[in-house]
């Protein structure tokens, strides 16, 4: 596994590149012994598209990036940004994702605390735990969110539209529901 350094907000943070793509990236990375106290961020580009705006002089092209960022210990965020260059769009959306990170309560072995579901527009996402050793069974978008959270064994099902924007927002609604459920449990018991 290679580690290369990428600049975020005047601070260098490692990104991980693995030549062989495996089913679950969370198994490959030991975050505890990389450096003193700073947690490296996992970054995954979900969608990078070229968008066009027609003006009087012709067409103007820009790039739209959708990025997932997480610390693999229960915090995850997503960001969208546009820029004139693809690399600038990815960096802008990465900063946006870092600013919008949410904390998700995880179980003892980095698992979901309960089953969850979320709905956004015409997309519905259902999530549940698997036995140890089975891995992640979900679409690529939800798999990258689980990898950013550090979850190793879970499944998810998408009902309705599979648009990445809607899937991410529905998944985040489901994850926020899990944190609300934990607050209610702590309050009542």
| Residue of 80, 68, 92, 93 whose CA lies nearest to 150 | 68
Distance CA 5, CA 174 (A): 32
pLDDT tens string, the chain, 189 residues long: the values are 444 445 445 454 455 444 444 455 444 444 444 444 456 788 999 999 999 999 999 999 999 999 999 998 889 999 999 999 999 999 999 999 999 999 988 888 888 888 889 999 999 999 999 888 888 999 999 999 999 998 989 999 999 999 999 999 999 999 998 877 666 666 665
Domains of the chain: 2-102 (3.30.160.20), 104-188 (3.30.230.10)
Residue 5: how many CA atoms within 13 Å on its side-chain side? 7
Place of tokens 């969850």: 116
Q: Which residues contact 37 (CB under 8 A, 6 or more apart)?
A: none
The model's pTM is 0.75
């Amino acid at each position: 596994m290679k580690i290369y350094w990428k600049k975020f907000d005047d601070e260098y943070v490692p990104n991980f590149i693995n030549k062989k793509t495996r089913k679950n990236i969370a198994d490959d990375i030991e975050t505890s012994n990389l450096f003193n106290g700073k947690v490296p961020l996992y970054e995954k580009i979900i969608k990078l598209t070229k968008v066009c705006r027609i003006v009087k002089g012709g067409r103007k092209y820009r790039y739209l990036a959708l990025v997932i960022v997480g610390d693999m210990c229960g915090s995850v965020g997503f960001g969208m940004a546009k820029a004139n260059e693809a690399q600038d769009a990815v960096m802008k959306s990465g900063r946006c994702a870092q600013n919008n990170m949410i904390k998700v309560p995880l179980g003892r072995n980095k698992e979901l605390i309960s089953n969850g579901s979320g709905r956004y527009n015409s997309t519905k996402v259902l999530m549940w735990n698997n036995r140890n050793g089975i891995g992640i069974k979900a679409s690529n978008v939800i798999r990258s969110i689980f990898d950013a959270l550090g979850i190793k064994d879970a499944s998810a099902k998408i009902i309705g539209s599979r648009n990445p924007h809607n899937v991410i927002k529905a998944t985040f609604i489901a994850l926020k529901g899990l944190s609300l459920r934990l607050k209610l449990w702590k309050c009542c018991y």
